[in-house]
Amino acid sequence: MEEKENISMKQGEEGYTRSTLAKKMTSMVKPVVANAVRSLFSRESHPHEVLSIADLGCSTGPNTYFSVISTVIESVESKCQELSFQVPELQFYLNDLPSNDFNTLFKGLTGLLQRQEGKNIFVMGAPGSFYGRLFPRKSLHLVHASHSGHYLSQVPSGLKSKEGLPLNKGRIYISKTSPPSVRKAYLDQFQEDFTLFLKSRAMEMVPHGHMILMLLGRESTDPANMESCYMWELLAEAISDMVEQGLIAKEKLDSFDVPFYTASSEEIQGVVDKEGSFSIDHMQLFAINHFADVVEGEDTWVKAERVCKVIRNFTELSHHFGEEILDKLCDKFANILVENIKKELPMNITNILVVLSRKAV
């Protein structure tokens, strides 16, 4: 399946990567990564000569890939010392779409790698879509993907009628007013994509290797629940306002849908069970407020602008609506966000942490 390169796999915006929210997510995943690494070693197993780790959808923000590399190094060294094993060579693969700024990514690694000088640690980029093969067979021991798995490979194909007319008029994602066929189209696309993701990783991972996924999801069984749709509803409202002002054609709104899906834990479990190559060792849901990453003393407008930057970076807004209208649209969206922040409405997002093990072949 071909993935459009202008769909960002992850939040590469500086406003996100420097946020306390991102750091909080990283701190939650760190012990999970450490435990997964340590479980790859035992007195009964033959010591690894090379340990290969892939970080998928790494973008350019240092909070995740920097922490993953550091945690893996620390965990391998401590476990090998405990077992009196020689520390293996470590091969890290950093993956994102070819349009990602890999130059910035590797510049950000300079300090970390300098501190590890003299050790057998290798880092290379692996551009390409993770909805398909990226690595040789049975070459990976650990796979990590943070906040990238909720992006679909494409806008679902079932969002138009047989006559080619849009079925989700006035909305850009699943909503309470969306017909059942829209919900089904999104679920079908998620199941197809996630199945392909698992099949690809199954071929690339060694038996009993581990995969750690962090993705946006939902607690509710209803995909139109506000926890899943809140930001997209507000963005659709901003676009609708500009349609009413004559700044955007109504057809542009009706034909725009985001390639994104917040799955429930049951939907994730269902795909894993059906695909059959992995077992789920652990699954955890936790909610964090959309504005949990506020900077002390930061005013409401700055908070809203930061969220707007992230949304702008995620979607194909400029490609679909035109670069010339984007600033006005983002200003409108930020104004709507400010009003909602002032109302102090609950704006929680559900995150799902999944730890999987590759079954023995």
pLDDT in tens, 255-269: 999 999 999 999 999
How many angstroms separate the CA atoms of 210 and 276, rounded?
Answer: 15
Residue 211 contacts residue 355 (beta carbons within 8 Å): yes
Sign (positive or negative) of CA dihedral 253, 257, 263, 269: positive
How many angstroms separate the CA atoms of 44 and 34, rounded?
Answer: 20
Of the candidates 63, 78, 79, the residue with the CA atom closest to the CA atom of residue 30 = 63
Query: Distances from the Cα of 229 to the Cαs of 50, 57, 145, 220, in angstroms?
Result: 43, 23, 23, 12
Residue 260 DSSP symbol: B
pTM: 0.89
pLDDT score at 40: 95
Structure tokens at 307: 């969220």
Structure tokens at 50: 């090379």
Residues 6+ apart with CB under 8 A from 74: 34
Residue 203 contacts residue 133 (beta carbons within 8 Å): yes
Region of 297 (left: φ > 0; alpha: ψ -120 to 50; beta: rest) is left
pLDDT in tens, 140-179: 999 999 888 999 999 999 899 888 899 999 999 999 999 9
Residue whose pair of structure tokens reads 């407008």 in the numeric block: 301
pLDDT score at 129: 95
Question: What average pLDDT does this structure show over 15-22?
Answer: 49
pLDDT in tens, 194-209: 999 999 999 999 999 9
How many angstroms separate the CA atoms of 211 and 205, rounded?
Answer: 9
Q: Which run of H or of E encompasses 282?
A: strand 278-289
- Number of H helices and E strands in the chain, helices first, is 12, 8
**pLDDT band at residue 19 using 50, 70 and 90 as cut-offs:** low
Query: Does residue 27 surpass a pLDDT of 50?
Result: yes
CA angle 289, 294, 298 (to 5 degrees): 140
**Identity at 85, one-letter amino acid code:** F
Q: What is the CA radius of gyration of the chain?
A: 21
User: What value does the mean pLDDT of the chain take?
Assistant: 86
**pLDDT band at residue 307 using 50, 70 and 90 as cut-offs:** confident
How many angstroms separate the CA atoms of 140 and 92, rounded?
Answer: 10
What percentage of the chain has pLDDT greater than the value 70?
Answer: 87
Residue 213 contacts residue 357 (beta carbons within 8 Å): no
Query: Does residue 25 surpass a pLDDT of 80?
Result: no
Selected residue with higher pLDDT from 194 and 16: 194
pLDDT score at 63: 58
